[in-house]
A and B are shown apart, each in its own frame.
Chain A
């Protein structure tokens, strides 16, 4: 089966600019996650979708970050405006409803804000 696709792989932007990341999960996976991984830290959940509804966005900085999952499939994560501390790898993951299978992660988007 095809894995979780993410694009772009790398992005460099100046602070205060905006950026968007795209994720296509594994077909049939109901749950989609966006994680932020800052260098030297573990992945931190930003937002979790089940189908096209948000079930957890408690750690999403909503003043600058937004995410949507149209039609319960693809998802986009946007940052506007970006800050230096947003430099990180943004990981998308998907899973079936049964959590015992864990997540399948994409390769991530490495964002550098200068």
Chain B
């Protein structure tokens, strides 16, 4: 039962353009969402988060949008840079005391110079 889905395994974007990574979830109890970036041979690093009380959160070139009715979130990177090439995971957490995060399968972003 895949509660967090990233349906695009890979994405290629030209440098300077916008990258849009998508994530869907099925559990309506999820109320906190994270995006992580992962380079080869390294652990995932936290990128940006959003709470379900918001529909947008921005941090520099990164913006996360949340559409609760569609159970969909997206990460926008503008402008994309070659150093952004990595695997991006979305993760979701529910209103339970353990606050564990469930991860999607990841999208590999390649930014072409």
Which residues from chain A sit less than 8 Å from chain B, CB to CB? 4, 6, 31, 33, 35, 40-45, 48, 50, 55-56, 91, 93, 95, 99-108
Contact = CB atoms under 8 A, between A and B. Distances in A.
B45 interface: yes
A104 B45 CA distance: 7
B104 A48 contact: no
Given A104-B46, A105-B45, A107-B43, A42 B103 contact: yes
Contacts of B93: 99
Nearest to B46: A102
A91 B51 CA distance: 25
B34 interface: yes
Given A4-B43, A42-B89, A99-B99, 20 more contacts: A6-B43, A40-B105, A42-B104, A43-B89, A48-B98, A56-B98, A56-B100, A91-B44, A95-B99, A99-B93, A100-B49, A101-B46, A102-B49, A102-B101, A103-B101, A104-B46, A106-B43, A107-B42, A108-B42, A108-B43
Q: Interface size for chain B: under 10, 10 to 19, 20 to 34, or 35 or more residues?
A: 20 to 34
